[in-house]
Amino acid sequence: MRTFRTVLEQRIWERRLTLEEFVEEAELYAREHREPGTLGLRHLQRLVAGRRSADEPLGQVKASTARLLENMFGSTVEVLLSPPMEGSSGGSSVGISAHPGLAGAFEWLDGAAGWLSGSSAAKVSAGLKLADVGVLQGQRALRGRISRRQIADAVRRYYRVNDTFGVRGLGLDVETSVFTRSEWGGLGLPLDADNERLTLVQGDAAAPVLSAGCAEAAVQRLVMAAALDVRFANLPLYRLAEIDVSARGIGGAVDVGSFVEYALTMDLLEAELTDAVVSGSRALNPLRDKYLPDMDAVLDVAGRVCAGGVLSLVAIARPADPFRGAADYALIVQTRSDQVVNAAGKLAVIPKGFHQPLTDPRADVRIGATLRRELEEELFGRGDVDVTAGASRVASPMHPGRWSAPMRWLEDEAGRMRTECTGFGLNLVSGNYEFATLVVIEDEGFWPLFGGQLEANWEASGLTLYSSLDGELITDLVKKEAWSNEGLFALLQGLRRLREVGSSRVKLPSFEVSGL
């Protein structure tokens, strides 16, 4: 059983490199990414040992060398030079056979990287045997401590933009990573056939070809997903090909791609960015340089993998209550669980889901279809519409005959529930398109009947209710740094619209929107 002195030594061994070969790789990496750091063989020998040759403490590592190692491995130099946690030399007990959802990822990655069939599975299996779950949990915890503002500031610096979505008001000065335009914001578009004109087109995208560095990052993503029990499934996903959003309606086109392609390319950018913030490095990010290098690439949605999300602020009318007070709306906020692919541990509105088809790709393209499915799954207890649980044998999962009791009650009478698109934007973190929406349950009879049955699924670790009459608490909520950028974007767009339509049930903070 091999014993490693430092995490750095373990990580080099995982790459199947000798120290001499790693020095050459580091030199090539520094040259390609314009990093000033250097790394000689004798220096590396001391670093992997964690001690000087005379068994003296290693001392402080030169800043440029630390940045070089941190950018190559996506971990802080303190983590890299620390001893692996006890039990890491024996490997992780987690095997890829326990994660059948990764099978589609292995097949896709072998093809995109130009590897022989089975290579990805072998690499991930080897990585899992050596993975120190404690180190990976620590890395995830470090990422989770990075605030929403730090992420927003980092991408704004990278793209040299100042006009991302934000708000200013009494006690408020908030900016997000979401790029938007004046015609994309301040909407109150009912999600119906008159306003939803997105169409499905047959995509003709070229087969992806990954560089060695991108393929290695994808392998590490799969190792972490398996070791930390992140849910991962190769599912169809809508990709944006064209967009036209304004007060006139939602137009444009999408094609169908795969979740795996997104997860192993564009979705890697968030972790890379967060690790750069953790390390304090402002060096160029190699994956971002490859996949989303400038604002032209951000706006060229047809020329890249542009996956999307639908997020909703849900406002449920409640009758007056002797303990709570006057009639109001209950606003629901979730804390994301550690099992989700992105925004783990962050605050978000609920529901929050990918824009993707169930069984009818052309009909499911409507934003309202995704929103209703996510309501059923994330709040109304419909586990059979959870696409991560495996393939469904149901021909029409959202057929009215299968609706939950809350959804059936809402749809039984016109006017009980109103769904609107409140805004649209492109998230500079990973290039995602974000549809901010608002669900208003106007009939206060819903709360006595079903309020006690609302329960989040596995994607949330907890829910918090806020009253639409409590402007002080909601102002504090908006200022929390634990928000995901896209979640805060949807919250703010929803609050803005609710102030316009909520009448006496609402005493929300007023704010001025920026970045439109």
Angle at 374 between CA 182 and CA 302, to 5 degrees: 45
Residues 155 and 41 in one domain: no
- Report which of residues 327 and 19 the model is more confident about: 327
Q: For residue 68, what pLDDT band results from cuts at 50, 70 and 90?
A: confident
Per-residue model confidence as pLDDT tens digits over 462-490: 999 999 999 999 999 999 999 999 999 99
Residues 52 and 196 in one domain: no
Angle at 271 between CA 267 and CA 272, to 5 degrees: 100
Residues 166 and 311 in one domain: yes
User: Domain residues for 220?
Assistant: 142-388+399-514
Q: For residue 65, what pLDDT band results from cuts at 50, 70 and 90?
A: confident
Mean pLDDT value across the chain: 89
CA distance 423 to 399: 28
Contact 83, 5 (CB under 8 A): yes
Residues 297 and 383 in one domain: yes
CATH number for the domain harbouring residue 491: 3.90.79.10
Contact 177, 164 (CB under 8 A): yes
Q: For residue 79, what pLDDT band results from cuts at 50, 70 and 90?
A: confident
Lowest mean pLDDT among 50-54, 88-92, 322-326: 88-92
> In the block, which residue shows the tokens 């207890």?
381
Contact 358, 387 (CB under 8 A): yes
Residues 67 and 199 in one domain: no
**Could you give phi then psi for residue 332, rounded to 5 degrees?**
-110, 130
Look at residue 90 and tell me whether its pLDDT is greater than 50. no
Residues 76 and 187 in one domain: no
**Could you give phi then psi for residue 221, rounded to 5 degrees?**
-65, -45
Residues 77 and 216 in one domain: no
Residues 43 and 157 in one domain: no
pLDDT of residue 156: 95
Beta strands in 170-274 (DSSP E): 172-179, 189-190, 196-200, 236-246, 249-258
Residues 173 and 245 in one domain: yes
**Could you give phi then psi for residue 240, rounded to 5 degrees?**
-75, 130
Look at residue 89 and tell me whether its pLDDT is greater than 70. no
pLDDT of residue 53: 64
Contact 136, 227 (CB under 8 A): yes
Residue 345 lies in a domain: yes
**Could you give phi then psi for residue 448, rounded to 5 degrees?**
-60, -35
Residues 325 and 474 in one domain: yes
Question: What is the per-residue DSSP string for 117-176?
Answer: TTHHHHHHHHHHHH--HHHHHHHHHHHHTS-HHHHHHHHHHHHT---EEEEEETTEEEEE
Number of domains forming the structure of the chain: 2
pLDDT of residue 284: 64
CA distance 301 to 308: 11
> In the block, which residue shows the tokens 């070791």?
227
pLDDT of residue 54: 59
The one-character DSSP state at 51 is B
Residue 322 lies in a domain: yes
Residues 73 and 146 in one domain: no
Q: Which residues contact 152 (CB under 8 A, 6 or more apart)?
A: 164, 175, 176, 177, 485
Q: How many CB atoms lie within 10 A of CB 415?
A: 8
Per-residue model confidence as pLDDT tens digits over 131-156: 888 888 888 888 888 999 999 999 99
Residue 30 lies in a domain: yes
Q: Which of 81, 109, 128 is the endpoint of a domain?
A: 81
The pTM (predicted TM-score) of the whole model is 0.81
- Return the closest-CA partner of residue 344 out of 278, 270, 277, 288: 270
Q: Which of 56, 81, 106 is the endpoint of a domain?
A: 81
pLDDT of residue 100: 65
Percentage of residues in the chain with pLDDT exceeding 90? 60
Q: Which of 35, 61, 81 is the endpoint of a domain?
A: 81
> In the block, which residue shows the tokens 């992997």?
48
Look at residue 98 and tell me whether its pLDDT is greater than 80. no
Residue 136 lies in a domain: no
* The two three-digit tokens of residue 210, written as one number: 């990954």
Residue 230 lies in a domain: yes
User: What would the mean pLDDT of 402-422 be, rounded to a whole number?
Assistant: 96
Contact 214, 265 (CB under 8 A): yes
- Report which of residues 25 and 369 the model is more confident about: 369
Residue 1 lies in a domain: no
In three-state secondary structure terms, 417 is: strand
In three-state secondary structure terms, 330 is: strand
Residue 96 lies in a domain: no
Residue 193 lies in a domain: yes
> In the block, which residue shows the tokens 């890249």?
304
Residues 152 and 75 in one domain: no
User: What would the mean pLDDT of 402-417 be, rounded to a whole number?
Assistant: 96
Q: With both helix axes pointing from N to C terminus, report the angle between 405-412 and 367-378 in degrees, rounded to the nearest 10.
A: 140
Q: For residue 52, what pLDDT band results from cuts at 50, 70 and 90?
A: confident
Per-residue model confidence as pLDDT tens digits over 258-298: 999 999 999 999 999 999 998 887 666 899 999 999 999 99
User: What would the mean pLDDT of 214-237 be, rounded to a whole number?
Assistant: 89
pLDDT of residue 505: 96
Q: For residue 21, what pLDDT band results from cuts at 50, 70 and 90?
A: confident
Written as one letter, the residue type at 361 is P
Look at residue 51 and tell me whether its pLDDT is greater than 90. no
